[in-house]
Structure formats: C-alpha cells, structure tokens
Amino acid sequence: MSSNQNKRKDVSIVICGAAGQGIKTVEKLLVHNFSHSGFHVFSTKEYMSRVRGGTNSVSIRVSSQKAAALKDRIDILLPLHSEALGHLEKRISSETIVIGDKEKICKDCPTQIKQFIDVPLEDLARDIGGKIFINIIAAGIISGILKLDLDKMKKDVKDFFSQKDKQIVEKNIQSISQGYSKGEKFSDQKGISFDLTPWTEIKNQVLINGAEAVGFGALAGGCDFLSSYPMSPSTGVLVFISQHAHKFEVAAEQAEDEISAINMALGASYAGARSLVTTSGGGLALMGEGISLAGMIETPVVIHVAQRPGPATGLPTRTEQGDLELVLHAGHGEFPRIILAPGSLEDAFSLTQKAFDLADKFQIPVFILTDQFFMDSYYNIPAPDFQNVQANKHIIKTENDYKRSLITKDGISPRGIPGYGEGLVGVDSDEHDESSHITEDLDLRTQMAEKRLKKMDQIKKQAIPPELVGPEDYRNLIIGWGSTLHVINEALDVLGLKKTAFLHFKQVYPLPDETKIYLEKADQIVIAEHNATSQFKKLIKLETGIDISKTILKYNGLAFSVEEMAEKINHALEQED
Amino acid sequence: MSSNQNKRKDVSIVICGAAGQGIKTVEKLLVHNFSHSGFHVFSTKEYMSRVRGGTNSVSIRVSSQKAAALKDRIDILLPLHSEALGHLEKRISSETIVIGDKEKICKDCPTQIKQFIDVPLEDLARDIGGKIFINIIAAGIISGILKLDLDKMKKDVKDFFSQKDKQIVEKNIQSISQGYSKGEKFSDQKGISFDLTPWTEIKNQVLINGAEAVGFGALAGGCDFLSSYPMSPSTGVLVFISQHAHKFEVAAEQAEDEISAINMALGASYAGARSLVTTSGGGLALMGEGISLAGMIETPVVIHVAQRPGPATGLPTRTEQGDLELVLHAGHGEFPRIILAPGSLEDAFSLTQKAFDLADKFQIPVFILTDQFFMDSYYNIPAPDFQNVQANKHIIKTENDYKRSLITKDGISPRGIPGYGEGLVGVDSDEHDESSHITEDLDLRTQMAEKRLKKMDQIKKQAIPPELVGPEDYRNLIIGWGSTLHVINEALDVLGLKKTAFLHFKQVYPLPDETKIYLEKADQIVIAEHNATSQFKKLIKLETGIDISKTILKYNGLAFSVEEMAEKINHALEQED
Amino acid sequence: MKTNAYDMDDIDMAWCPGCGNFNILKSLKKALAELSIEPKGLVVVSGIGQAAKIPHYFKTHFFNGLHGRALPPATGIKAVNPQLTVIAESGDGDMYGEGGNHFLHAIRRNPDITNIIHNNMVYGLTKGQASPTSQFGFKTPVQTKGVVLEPFNPLALAVSQNASFAARAFAGDEEETKEIIKKAIQHKGYALVDIFQPCVSFNKVNTFKWFKDNTAYLDDTYDPYDRRAAFEKSLETHPFALGVIYVGPPKNTYEQNIGLYDKDKNPLVFREQKRSQKLQQLIQSF
Amino acid sequence: MKTNAYDMDDIDMAWCPGCGNFNILKSLKKALAELSIEPKGLVVVSGIGQAAKIPHYFKTHFFNGLHGRALPPATGIKAVNPQLTVIAESGDGDMYGEGGNHFLHAIRRNPDITNIIHNNMVYGLTKGQASPTSQFGFKTPVQTKGVVLEPFNPLALAVSQNASFAARAFAGDEEETKEIIKKAIQHKGYALVDIFQPCVSFNKVNTFKWFKDNTAYLDDTYDPYDRRAAFEKSLETHPFALGVIYVGPPKNTYEQNIGLYDKDKNPLVFREQKRSQKLQQLIQSF
Ligand SMILES: Cc1ncc(C[n+]2csc(CCOP(=O)(O)OP(=O)(O)O)c2C)c(N)n1
Ligand SMILES: Cc1ncc(C[n+]2csc(CCOP(=O)(O)OP(=O)(O)O)c2C)c(N)n1
Ligand code: SF4
Ligand code: SF4
Ligand SMILES: [Mg+2]
Ligand SMILES: [Mg+2]
C-alpha cells in the first residue's frame, strides 16, 4: 500500500473463537487501548447461548471518525479455533488479512483468503505456560500492528488480572509483549498500515456499552429500587446496577421470578421509590398482569426490555426487534403507556433518565426497548452530563382528606405516598372510587376509565419527535427505530444518495403528530426492522394511515451490517413501487 | 288493555335483589317454564363481585319471537330489597308494573312508577317459614301472571330442591303455589295480560347459556384435557366440563395457577390430547409466555377467554370487549394464531368445536373470545347437531426417521406423538432444527421462522367470513363482533332503516379478504364495541386500511340494551361525517 | 390506642353475614390498637379474594394488588421504607395457590412483614372451588368427586424453610387470635399467621364447630424454638395445633440485608440523593 | 438394554468440559438401560438452563419447554398417556426459583413422574447469579456482598408436604446416582431426585471436592418411611445426607385419581371416543 490515499481510515478487526477462549478479554483490552490512543472504536459481539465451546466472534472497528455500526468487511481476522473461518466465510474477502495457526485453523480454508500470516499461536502460548494465553498473545499482535501504547497495554493487562496469582499476571504480560512484537514485525514486513488519525478529544470520551448506558441513565434518573430476574440479554443492566447499588443507595433485588419482580417494583413505587425492572421478551410475557396493575393503580414503573429472537426461548443471545407489539399491548384492559427505543448510547442514557420522569409525572409504566445488539455493543461517546440529575418525583405531602385516585381535569391525581403527610394512601386493582376503595358504581367506572385514558392526550403532545437525518427536501425516506440508528446512518453515508433522508424514531409509542407530516412528504418510504412481520410499519399504519410498502427485514438473530443495509436500501429504492 | 293489538308480544321481567336472596333460582325456574310453555325466552344477569348483599338483577324476556338481547324496558319488576328500585331507576317507566312489599321496598320511590302492586312478600314468606321463601313466592307470582303450567312448576321446584330436607321442599312448593295464585289474581284483577303465542317447536329446543354452549362445543370438538384456574367470568366452562368429565373421559384439572394451566395443556397436546384452557384477561396476561411456547413448538391448544372490564382486577363480574388486542399479541415473538368470537350460542357451539380442528390442523393456539354477558346469558336454540363430532387430530404414526419440525411447503410438519410409531418426537422452545434439537444455525433460524409464519397464508384463506344481515345494497354499514350480534340485530329491526346493513364478525383474526370489499361498499360505517379505545376498529384499519370514523363504545361493565343501541346507531348515522 | 381509631364510616362490606372474616378483622384491629400502630404508619397489602378485601374495611394505607401477589409489593414497600408496619394479608387460594412461589421465597428473604392468611380451605370469591388447603374428599362443582390432592401444609413448609416465625390461629377465638397477631407483628422478620376461618357460604364441612372440635392450643411447655418439635407439631392434624408453632434462630431481616440502613435509618424514599458527583466519579472509571 | 441404545451420533454438546452434568447424563442413561426403558417409551420434559439441555443429548422423546415450567407439561403428558415413562429434569434455578409453585403443587398432585434436579447452586446458563439453593455468602456479579437469603431446602420441603418419594444424590458418584435414579423411576408416584452437581464455570465454591467433603450416604439402618426422621435428615447440612431420604405412605397417583384408567388402561389419547350419543343425552337434560 503506497499512498495514504488508499489506506483505510477505518480498520475492521475480528477475533473469533469458542466460548471460554477469552475473546471478550481481548475485546476489553483492545477497545480501551484504541480509545486511549485517540481512535474512535466500536465493538460488537455475536455469540451462542452456551458457556464453553461453540463459535463466537467479536467485531471491532477502529476509526478516525465516529463508527458505531457493524461492518461485514474484515481487515484483520484472528481465528482462534478451527471452526472460525467457516463461521465467518461470508465476511472474508481477498483483502482480509488472516493471522493465526495455519495448520490448526485452516483445514479447508475459504479460497478467497489471499493474505495469511501464519503464527504458531498455540506453540507460543505453550511456551509461556499454556493454551490459555492464546487470547492475550492475539491481543498483543493486534496492538503491535496498530502500534498502540505497549506500556499502557501492559498496565491494563496487569489491572485486568489483578485478582489472579502474580505468576499468572506475569505470564499474561509476557504474552501481550510477545504478541506485540510479532504484530509490529508483521506491520513492518508486510506493509500493513492504516491511515488512522488520533483525535485527542477521544481520551475525554467514555467507552461504554448499551447495558451500561441504560444503567447510567437509570442511576441518573434517580432509580432507587430494582427488582429483576436474570434473562439474557437484559442481565447486563441488572449486573451493572447491582455492582453500584451500595454506593448509589439502590435497593437491588434478584426476584424469584418475573412476576415477583414487577410486583415488588410496584410496591416500592407505591411507597415512593423510582423502580426499575429489566427483562427480555419471555420475562415480559409473564409480567403482563403486573403491567396492567400499574395501569390500574396509576403507579409509575420503568421497564427495560432487551429483545432477543422469539418465540419462546428462541435464540437467547441473539438480536431482534420482535417484541414491539407485545410491549404495546402487554397487560389486559386499556391504559396509557410510553415506549422509548434508544438508537444511540447517548439516547440510552438520556431516555432512561427521562423514562423515570415520565413514569412519575404520568403515573404509568414506561418502557425502554433495546435489544441484544444494543446491549452488547461498545463505542466511545462524550461523557453524559450529570448536572441535571435531581429527580422530581411529583410527590405531595398528603392532607387528612387525601384521595389517591382523585379525578382531575388532566387525569393525573396528586401522588401521595404512605408515611408522608396526614392522609391515607390506598391503591386498588379493582375498579375503585377516588379514595381507591373498591366500587361497583358503574358511572364512576366510566369516569375512572376515562380519567386514566385521558392522560394519553398530554403524553402524546409531549412525545419525542423522530429525528430526521439528511436533506429536508427528501424524496425517499428510510424509517428505522431503536438500535438500527447507526447502521442506517452509515449505510446512507456510504450510498451518498441525494434525495434520501432517514427518519429515526426513539419514541415508538405514542407517535407524535408530526410523524404523518414527515411521511407524507416522501414519494417513497422504506422501513427497516429486525423482525419478520414489520411491526413498526403496522404501528405507523395504524397511527398515520400510511401503508409503507417497502420493507427491509432481518430476523436471523444477527444485526444488520453497513454493507447489507446499504445494498438493501439501494435495492428497495430501485424496485418498482 | 283492550285489544290484542296493543298487547305486548314480548314481556320483559326483572327480578332484583341482593346476592344470597336467590334470584338465580328464580331465573332458573322461570326460564325453563317459559320455554316449556312454548315461549322464546332470553335471560341475562348483572351482578356484583360478592357472595352476599349488594344489588344484582336478572332480566328475562319472554316472547313469541326469538329474542336474545337485553331490553331496557321493564314490564314487570320484582324488587326484593330496598336498593332495587334505585338501582334500576333508569329502566323504570310509567308502564312498568312493580310488584313487591311497598313499605319495605319503596322508601323514596322513583316518581315515574305508576303501577305498584303491593304484596306483603315478607309476611307471606314468614308465614310459610322464613324470608328465604321470598324468591320462590316471587317466581310463583310471575308464573301466575303469565299463567304457566303450575304442575310443571311444582315439579321443577321439587327437583331443584331435591337435595334438601323434605320439609324445605314442601315449603318451597307451598311458596310457589301461593305466589302463583297471587299472580293469577293480579293478572285478572288488574287486567295484566300479554299477547304471547306459544310455539310448540320451542319444546324441542334447548335452553343454555354461553358457558354451556362453549362447553358443549368443546366436548363435541373432542376436548379430552382441560387445565384451568378459576376466574370469573370464565369459570362456568371449567365447571361445566368438570361436571361431565367422567362421562366424556376428559382429564380435567384445576391447576395451581394460570401458568401451570397453559403449560399442562401444552404437555397434554404434545402427547396427543385436544386441550382446552379457560380464563379471563388477567389469567391470559399470565399465559403469554405459554402461548408463545405453543407458537414455537407448533402444538395445538384452544384457549377460551371470557372478557371482563380491566385493567387488573377491574370489575370481575361485569362485561367488556377490552382484551382483543391482548389476545392478538399475547406472547413474545412472531407466530400465527386464530381468534374466534361467537355472536350466538350456536356460534359458541360450532366455533368451539371448530377451534379444536383448526388448532390441530395448523398446530397453533386458537382463541375463543367471549365475555361475561355472553357467558351468563341464556336463551333457547335448536339443539346442536352432534352427528359430526368425530375429531381428526391430524396425527400420524411415526417412522424411525421422524422429524417433528420438518420443513414442508405449507409450513405444516406432520404431527407425531410419543408412543405412536417408531419415531422419537421432540419439541423445543429454543430455535431448533427439523428434529427439534436446539440450533444456532442462523440460516436455519430464518427458515424456521418463515415455516411457522407461512401457515398464516392458509389460515387466512380459510378464515370464516363475516355475516351480513340486511340489504345487500346497503349505504350504511354497522360493524360488530362477538357478543353484540343479537343486540345490534334487534336494534336494526327496531329502527327499520332501509339502506343499513350489519356486518358481524365471528372470526376477528385473521380477517378474511372480503372484509375490505364489504367495507368499501358502504358510504358510512359505524362500529360498536364494548371498550373505550375501539380495538376492533384499529384491527380493521390495520388489515384493510379503512379508518372507521364513527364508534359506539360502552365500557361501564353493562351490556348494550336494544334501545340504547338503536338510539346510538340512529344518532351516529345522523351525525355529520 | 382505641380500636375505633380504625373504624371507617359508612362502608358496605361484601362479606357474608356470619363469616369468619369479621372475627379476624376485629382481632386485627384490636391487635393494632394494643400495639399503638397508627393507620398512618401501617400498610396492608392484599391480593384478590374475599379475605383480600380486608384493607377496604378499616383505616390504613393499602395496596390491594393482584390475586396471589401480595408478598412481592409488601417486600418492595418494606425495602424502601422500613419504618412502615407492613402486613400482607389474603386468602389461602391467593397466598398458597396462585402466590405459592412468593410464599416460598418470602420466607427465605425474611422481610419484616406479617403474613396473615385467612384459611377457609376454599376459594370463596370465585364460589367454592377447592383451595390448596382443602381437605381430602372435599366436594365442589369442580372437584366433583372430592379433593384428591394432598392438602397443603403451610406451617410445615414454613418450618422446613426455617421461617423466622410461624403461627396458626382460629378466627372463632378473637382474643387468642389477637394475641397471636400481636406476637407476629412484634416479631422482627417474616411472620406467618395462618388463621382457620370458616366460610359459611362455600365450606359446609369446615365450620366454626369443626374447627373448634379439631384444634387445640399449644400448652405452656411447648418450645417454639425447637425446629424438630415444631415440625412434628405442624404435621399433627386432628387436632391441629394453634399458637406460635415455630420461631427461628435470630437473623437479619431482608431490609437489614440490603445494607443501606446500617448507618442511615432514614427510609430510601426520603433521602435526598445527591448523585451528580458519584456519577461523575463512576464514569471516569469507564 | 445397553447404554448405547441412547447414544446419538454427532452431537455438539454445550456443556463445559468437566461439568457434573456429564456424570448425571451417564447415570441416567445407565439407569434407563438397566430398567429397560426404551427411548420410545420415555419422555424427558425439561425447562431452560444448562441442565435442561439434557434431552438433546440422548435418545428420547422430549419436551424442552419454558424456563421453570417442566412439571406442568410433564403432568399433562402423564394425564393423557400414563403408559409413558416421564422424567421432568432441570436445574435448581429452573425448578425451585421460576418453577417453585409447580414444584410445590406437583408434590401434592403426585403424578407418577421422576423429577430430577441438577443442583449446582447457581444459575449456570445466565452466567453465575445466585440460585435458590446458593449457600450463604456465595458471591456473584449480582449478589456482590454474597447471598443473604436462607438457602432453599428442597428435601425438607418435599417431606413437609408428604411427597411420595424424595432423594438426594451427588453427580460425582455415578454408580450410586444411577441406583437412586432407578429407585425414583421405579417408584409409583412423584419422585424427587435432587442431585448435587458441580458447575466448574460459575461455582468455584461448591466443587466436586466440596460436595465430596460435605456429603455422606445414609446408612442401612436409616428408615425412609419415618417422616419425622426424614425431616431431621433433610435439615442436616455438613454433611448433607445422600440417598433416599423419604418415602411417603402409599397413595394413588394423579393419573389414578383422574378416575379414567380404573377399567380401561388405554391412554386417553388412543381412545376412540364416541361422543355423539352422550352429547345427545346430555343436551336432553338441558
Ligand atoms: C390471575 C387471577 N386468577 C384468578 C382470579 C380469580 N380469583 C379471584 S379470588 C380467587 C380465589 C379466592 O380464594 P382465596 O384466595 O382462598 O380467598 P377467599 O375468597 O376464600 O377469601 C380467584 C381464583 C384472579 N382474580 N386473578
Ligand atoms: C422466563 C425466563 N426467565 C429467565 C430466563 C433466563 N434463564 C435461562 S436459564 C436460567 C437459569 C439457569 O439456572 P438453572 O436453572 O439453575 O440451570 P443451570 O444453567 O444452572 O443448569 C435463566 C434465569 C428464561 N429463559 N426465561
Ligand atoms: S364467601 Fe365465605 S369467605 Fe367469603 S365472605 Fe362469604 S362466608 Fe366469608
Ligand atoms: S456453566 Fe456450569 S453447569 Fe453449565 S455446563 Fe458449564 S460447568 Fe456445567
Ligand atoms: Mg379461601
Ligand atoms: Mg443451576
């Protein structure tokens, strides 16, 4: 590669191996060092639902510009076991540099491989002390190729293994060093180099994943109670908050099941807490009755749902956007709700924070809808602003004649909590009077039903508008929601179409009125979603009457890649209507 | 009342009292005798969620023609306690003949009452042996007025109380007789009479309620396993089947909770049974995950959902059609389902029977959607046809290489069951291969998702068309679904509008293609539903693109009356568009 | 305090005349009065059923939630405001049937709540199906040949999972029931009070008389701290033992275990949380 | 029969090398072989978790259902086809956590199924959170200060509810575990087999060695028919007793109680039901 012109400003590195081979550790070490070196970094995983074995991969992009979506293209591939090359076959091209134990890895090598750097990883590792060091040697090789700061790298390795024996730490440092020098050598000998411009600002940015962003948002939103039952891919949020529960004075409880989780959360909210529940589709399917209870007793709760492919157990560690309709309709009877679907980590932070405010303000369940891809993807963002984290819980001190379910003009009853003021605070899952006592007064029933539903007016007025990216005078409009934000953005960047814009929804329900206006302006609309029945398309049809005819749907459990999205958009736009 | 011209051909009788006063017994005795005498009879209840006290009422219509909807008008009212007249105030007119203990019942009597026949019910009862006989005396009075067959009446009383002491039986017979002679006297003295023409055919008809009709349908449909948890208003079906379980060789089990109920049912279906679950909205909200499982393992199950007002516990003994959207979307992920909503008792029978066939044929969950009004209403219908009750379970004898999840052209895998044939039969809630073994082959995932969804094509083709009542060349179209069939029919009869037809849906999902054609023919469309957000209207919009602008909605827990429906239809049609 | 401090005016009670629920309500009000627990400091959490209507019939904060789900909200409330006295009260179907899993795990979690069950051995509100505690042979419209399942034994279960307190009472004896409830409320930690309650409408077998004839109070020599003895007692059936059957070894309550009330007794919900700086610190470590 | 009758070709097992699950699979296959239970006559029902993957690893009919929900389908299967041997098998989180209520009520219902729990005292598949049986102080990414809940005692619960059979085994001893499983399968009625199973990936405390050091087989003098003794045994912890801890008094199974198999042994699903006439008769009574 001669001139900087031709060099990539964006390197795509993939490490692939079995569960238990430590590719997550490699990911952790690399992404932090890339970002420390001033590069933008994006990293995402696809993995099987098992603890050992199988074939998993981590895709890391290092770039001079912001990159936050998956690319199919692989510049450097480190296969750590014999299934890896087969597993990634479709993504390997003649430009891919494969680095690995040729003999072990390459039984029947994909023919398109043109650049193979044979490194006896296993022998190297064995010399150091055993196969377990392969992953750190691999991390070293990549650091060497990209000329990262070796001292920083060593320090990180040391920190990372700080719980282990001194000897183990030493051997890991040895591994990283050896790998590094190999990498440096390859880079020089084979002329591997990239045009990566470091950007000092990045050092002040933070590198987090979706689970952490939601967790930070919850802490910033004043969450002080969490009850959940572990379920992939939502467990990251449970773990994050549990880790910091003590410091942030959060009562965090692993419930015996999801039904308990949602009902505990409602108890805590009733008593004045800001409660969070985190789960996935299957868990949510068990919480329907509890969600309906939240609607009836007008008690706030924030529910984070990280989607994975269904039905039933489906593919526990894969991604999908297949639970939108469930979240829209979970729970029997009729009551308001809000559904937010972050597209970026910044969204995840700010929307989760906001969710607690909305829940308290309207005394309703508010959903944060993410997915496995979102939960497990890292990239660097400016540190969120933590100045404005004082919660307004909309709680009043009660008087003697306090009525929890008072019928008011806007449908919102002033919220009292037990033990604060002179009043008694009751809530009732039966239809009830203004004091929340059970009633069979059927005129009152009508009033109460209307009171609850009336809140929808205000909620709709305050809906977060969709974000338009691209020309205002678009003829083609691409629609996406939630986690497909970056991939659609980048695909459109790649395509460079003139009259095409992208409308991204981070609030999917209720939809703000301007939705229709945006859609009516377009000649052609294409919607992209990670499900088989285009659930958001249906919602848009229902809310705006507009029937989007072109869909880009993927539901094999893997996230869209930039190339794939670009090709599909292109194809869709070229198709006859 | 001089000429037969002016006499009513349709008598509306209401008995109103507290839970525990035995008005259900009165209802039972009367309706059977009316029908025995050759009259059409319709009877419906509205009652509070309590075992004793409160105010409940039974409305009975006796008629020369078929009558199967609630009328507001009351011809004869028997208030059994002091709250009764207040409770029914809006339905009482100057034509209402009130029969009762004036002093006890009429503290501040509604002023519109013009005809009060004062009977010292309490004294009469006390003379016989106690207040408990009031209800039977009341039944006697009505039988007397309508000149029913006293001997038959006595015999029924005897049968009804056959479990009790001989003395009690005697006193009840005394009560019926005494009431009867009072009634006869009133009829003669006050000239109360009606123009009821008996029709001998009626004697060959059967008088059943919605719960029994669903139950009969299930037995005829080959149901041989039932697992459910009691929940009003669905418990009637559980009770009906339990009562006859032994005779019909049904394994009927009261489960520890709804989650167990649906999962037990799926186990039984997997093993080859025809399984039924009966519940209401709250119970269904707990079954979402199980329903999703049915979708994933492609195992048939029939789920009867008797709706009541929500959210949460709501009004347990009242009626609503508020769970359509929940039934549509219960369960995470994407898979086919069918939702049937009987309008008549005949429908309840035939659709429930059919539900088992559909479930087995397509290996999916099939829902029967009813409501409290439907469950608790009685009328006479021709006895269902039980000739055609041989079930085709679509089960094959397996071969050695049997694959339960075989990918076929139409998406339907031949259904084997364990222990029948040589093959092994597996099902898996994870994504799986054709042998149902867990897989992470993501291309296979796509194929499997498509296989499951593909069944929807055939299902849609075979959807039961809506029923058009009225002129083919309608300009106005009234839409209804499920239990509002008769009330809309009768309201339109009353209105006698020329260009207005009624389109009733007994299959609400998926909708057959002709739906759109029907709707497009109309200039004006009005939809009537028992909910606050017009859920079926939304479904129609989604499926046909047609946005119905006029709605008739009621959600106070009471069923529409004929008068109310007529007035609202009239009003809606007169309104500007 | 006086019992009438809990009285509400002009309420329409949905219980049947003669039902054991009235007795339990009286005992409970007396117990609360004698312990000087003000309505303002009390939350009654209930599920759905006839028993579960109890918080509508006296002055208290209340959370009348879902069928079977009284214990989870009670736990949530206690976690964020341990200063409240929390009672979780429902019927046998609610607590042991639909809510069985929460019952099991609440015992293990040990929140400082009093768990009162109106055990009428039947589903009252839904008109008379068998409940988990229905006795062998009990006939109902659903169990047409009589109950065949082993009757659920809540006391034995509580002992088996080392519940911190487990007692049985009989609604027919208001005075003793009151005493038992008082002990349960005063006990720190999860306290089970299973109360035999005649249902005059749907249980014609287990009547006031039946319960009277088939129960016997523990005598003074009985040692509730002996787990094995408690287990034996909990298995005895005719008569069923009444009184405090088991008190487990001292242990932390759930609220204590949360670890946020060691220094600061102020309930979580009343704390002025200042998080800006902590968040700033935490993000720096990322 | 030979054990290899259950072998499947070319399967990719998702368990970690060294995991106790492999031992259990071996014991189970041997037990089935020795009892001559053919794959064709066997249904294994499981939930979700590492343990719950077991029916994918040997020849059998299987219903791999939802997390926590193995017992209800197992019961449903048995109801309509009692001729099948039915095993409900899952992990401790699945059976005692999410599925706790079914566990409780399956014991009461007494279907003739064998309920095998791989008890590794941790949630394996979801990567190491506490399970109901996790011991005090067990640290995890969620239980950062260690487990504070009373560990769930399945054996004591089973005895408390008069389970018809309850045993504990240790995966480290394939031979004895096989014997215990055989007894459980042969037992008519619900049979619990809780098997201590080391999880080499997420439980570094309760290892093969730990289990070996902290368990002891019941000796020959032990009488499993004595409920009180069984209860005492079930409470002992260091060592935990291994073997058949309790066998309840003879009683009907759930399938027998259904009352449809007294005369006709033919499974419900194979009966040619002729209902036209019965329906005709029934409707006449309306
Ligand atoms: C999810 C759900 N399932 C079922 C019901 C119906 N239901 C209400 S109360 C009840 C049982 C009542 O029995 P119990 O708890 O013993 O209380 P009791 O009425 O006897 O006091 C049932 C099954 C419900 N409300 N919610
Ligand atoms: C409704 C639902 N909630 C949560 C999960 C996630 N989940 C899968 S397995 C599991 C726990 C596994 O632990 P255990 O049952 O002990 O089995 P092990 O993996 O240890 O063998 C959980 C929480 C799920 N699949 N479904
Ligand atoms: S139904 Fe039974 S438990 Fe309920 S109030 Fe009446 S007597 Fe009491
Ligand atoms: S995670 Fe634990 S239980 Fe699961 S296979 Fe691995 S070692 Fe076994
Ligand atoms: Mg009860
Ligand atoms: Mg486990």
pLDDT tens for B385-426 read 898 888 788 999 999 999 999 999 999 999 999 999 999 999
Residue A411 domain flag? no
Shared domain check, A272 and A211: yes
Look up residue A79 and give its two tokens. 């296969």
Residue with tokens 């993995």: A47
Q: Which atom of ligand 2 is nearest to the CA of D95?
A: 15
Q: For residue B11, give the nearest of B47, B45, B46, B40 by alpha carbon.
A: B40
Residue C263 domain flag? yes
Give the H or E element holding residue D43.
strand D42-46
Inter-axis angle of helices D71-80 and D100-109, nearest 10: 30
Residues lining ion ligand 6 (Cβ < 5 A) are D 91-93, 120, 124
CB-based contact A136:A26 (threshold 8 Å): yes
pLDDT tens for B186-202 read 988 888 888 888 888 88
B282 at interface of A, judged by CB pairs closer than 8 A: yes
pLDDT of B14 strictly over 70: yes
Shared domain check, B193 and B282: no
Shared domain check, B148 and B252: no
Instruction: Please report which residue ranges of A363-441 form alpha helices under DSSP H.
Output: 372-376
Backbone angles phi, psi at C258, to 5 degrees: -55, -30
Give the CATH number, domain containing residue C176.
3.40.50.970
Instruction: Write a three-state SS string for A305-340.
Output: EEECCCCCCECCCCCCCCCHHHHHHCCCCCCCCEEE
Residue A257 domain flag? yes
- What confidence score (pLDDT) does residue B4 get? 44
What average pLDDT does range C156-167 have in this prediction?
A: 98
pLDDT of A254 strictly over 50: yes
Residue D65 domain flag? yes
Show the domain range for A87: 3-204
Q: How many domains does chain A fold into?
A: 3
Instruction: Write a three-state SS string for B412-436.
Output: CCCECCCCCECCCCEEECECECCCC
Neighbours of chain D (3+ CB pairs under 8 A): A, B, C
Q: How many domains does chain C fold into?
A: 1
Q: How far is CA C234 from CA A39, C33, C91, C130, in A?
A: 68, 30, 19, 21
Name the closest-CA residue to atom 3, ligand 3: C199
B243 at interface of C, judged by CB pairs closer than 8 A: yes
Cβ contacts (< 8 Å) between C101 and chain D: which residues?
A: 99-101, 104
- What integer best gives the mean pLDDT of chain D? 97
Give the CATH number, domain containing residue A233.
3.40.50.970
Residues paired with residue A304 on neighbouring β-strands, in sequence order: A278, A368
pLDDT of B469 strictly over 80: yes
Backbone angles phi, psi at B500, to 5 degrees: -115, 130
Q: Say yes or no for a CB contact (<8 Å) between D283 and B224.
A: no
What distance lies between CA B230 and its chain's CA centroid? 17
Q: The dihedral of CA B518, B520, B525, B530: what is its sign?
A: positive
Q: How far apart are CA D87 and CA D97, in angstroms?
A: 19
pLDDT of A436 strictly over 90: yes
Confidence of residue B373 (pLDDT cuts 50, 70, 90): very high
Q: How far apart are CA B317 and CA B50, in angstroms?
A: 9
Q: Say yes or no for a CB contact (<8 Å) between A541 and B538.
A: no
C126 at interface of B, judged by CB pairs closer than 8 A: yes
Neighbours of chain C (3+ CB pairs under 8 A): A, B, D
In angstroms, what is the span from residue C19 Cα to ligand 3's centroid?
Answer: 5
Q: Which residues contact A337 (CB under 8 A, 6 or more apart)?
A: A291, A295, A328, A364, A365, A366, A367, A509
Residues 244-303 of chain B with CB under 8 A from chain D are 244, 246-249, 251, 253, 255-257, 259-261, 263-273, 275, 289-290, 293, 297
- What confidence score (pLDDT) does residue B576 get? 62
Shared domain check, A238 and A219: yes
CB-based contact B83:B55 (threshold 8 Å): yes
Residue C3 domain flag? no
Shared domain check, A108 and A12: yes
Backbone angles phi, psi at B355, to 5 degrees: -55, -40
Reported in sequence order, the residue ranges of chain C that DSSP labels E, i.e. its strands, are 42-46, 61-64, 85-91, 113-119, 165-170, 191-196, 215-217, 240-247
A293 at interface of B, judged by CB pairs closer than 8 A: yes
pLDDT tens for B261-279 read 999 999 999 999 999 999 9
Final residue in a domain of this structure, among A381, A408, A424: A381
Across chain C, how many H-helices and E-strands are there?
10, 8
Helix, strand or coil for residue C195? strand
Shared domain check, A269 and A180: no
Q: Which residues contact A324 (CB under 8 A, 6 or more apart)?
A: A339, A369, A508, A531, A535, A536, A539
Q: Which residues contact C58 (CB under 8 A, 6 or more apart)?
A: C6, C7, C8, C25, C28, C29, C39
pLDDT of D193 strictly over 60: yes
Distance from CA of C51 to the nearest CA of B (A): 12
Question: In a 10 Å sphere around its CB, with 0-12 CB exposed, 13-18 middle and 19+ buried, how is residue A167 labelled?
Answer: exposed
Look up residue B387 and give its two tokens. 């000739």
Final residue in a domain of this structure, among B179, B204, B229: B204
Q: How far apart are CA C6 and CA C32, in angstroms?
A: 9
B162 vs D168, higher pLDDT = D168
Q: Which atom of ligand 2 is nearest to the CA of D52?
A: 21
Q: Which residues contact D43 (CB under 8 A, 6 or more apart)?
A: B271, B418, D60, D61, D62, D63, D74, D77, D84, D85, D86, D87
Helix, strand or coil for residue B185? helix
Q: For residue C104, give the nearest of C158, C152, C65 by alpha carbon.
A: C158
pLDDT tens for B62-93 read 998 889 999 999 999 999 999 999 999 999 99
CB-based contact D125:C125 (threshold 8 Å): no
- What integer best gives the mean pLDDT of chain B? 95
Residue C135 domain flag? yes
CB-based contact A302:A277 (threshold 8 Å): yes
CB-based contact B531:B539 (threshold 8 Å): no
The residue type found at D158 is A
Shared domain check, A279 and A323: yes
Shared domain check, B212 and B94: no
Shared domain check, B281 and B361: yes
- What confidence score (pLDDT) does residue A4 get? 44
Give the CATH number, domain containing residue B7.
3.40.920.10
Shared domain check, A211 and A184: no
Please state the length of chain D.
286
- Tell me A420's DSSP state: S
Size of interface A-B (CB pairs under 8 A): 220
Confidence of residue D26 (pLDDT cuts 50, 70, 90): very high
Helix, strand or coil for residue C213? helix
Q: Say yes or no for a CB contact (<8 Å) between C17 and B52.
A: yes
- Cα radius of gyration (chain D): 20
Reported in sequence order, the residue ranges of B414-499 that DSSP labels E, i.e. its strands, are 426-428, 467-469, 476-481
Residue C98 domain flag? yes
Shared domain check, A220 and A72: no
Final residue in a domain of this structure, among A360, A381, A402: A381
Give the CATH number, domain containing residue A504.
3.40.50.920
pLDDT tens for A124-172 read 999 999 999 999 999 999 999 999 999 999 999 999 998 889 999 999 9
Which of B281, B297, B430 minimises the CB distance to A333? B281
Backbone angles phi, psi at B63, to 5 degrees: -155, 160
Shared domain check, A226 and A162: no
Residue A455 domain flag? no
- Which ligand approaches the C-alpha of residue C67 most closely? 1
Q: How far apart are CA A165 and CA A149, in angstroms?
A: 25
Buried b (16+ CB within 10 A) or exposed e, C62-80: bbbbbbbbbbbbbbbbbbb
- What integer best gives the mean pLDDT of chain A? 95
- What confidence score (pLDDT) does residue B196 get? 86
Q: Which atom of ligand 4 is nearest to the CA of D50?
A: 4
Mutate to test the interface with D, among C75, C98, C101 (most CBs of D within 10 A): C101
Residue D14 domain flag? no
- What confidence score (pLDDT) does residue B193 get? 81
Show the domain range for D170: 20-285
Helix, strand or coil for residue A395? strand
Please state the length of chain A.
577
pLDDT tens for A275-334 read 999 999 999 999 999 999 999 999 999 999 999 999 999 999 999 999 999 999 999 999
Cβ contacts (< 8 Å) between C143 and chain B: which residues?
A: 242, 254
Q: Which residues contact B49 (CB under 8 A, 6 or more apart)?
A: A430, A440, B232, B315, B316, B317, C14, C125
Task: Report the residue of chain B nearest C127, measured CA to CA.
Answer: B51
User: Which of A231, A239, A277, A308 gets mutated to test ligand 2 (max ligand atoms within 8 A of its CB)?
Assistant: A231
- Is the CB of D126 within 6 Å of ligand 2? yes
CB-based contact C117:C83 (threshold 8 Å): no
What average pLDDT does range B292-316 have in this prediction?
A: 98
Q: Say yes or no for a CB contact (<8 Å) between B446 and A285.
A: no
Q: How far is CA A408 from CA A451, B259, C160, in A?
A: 8, 38, 50
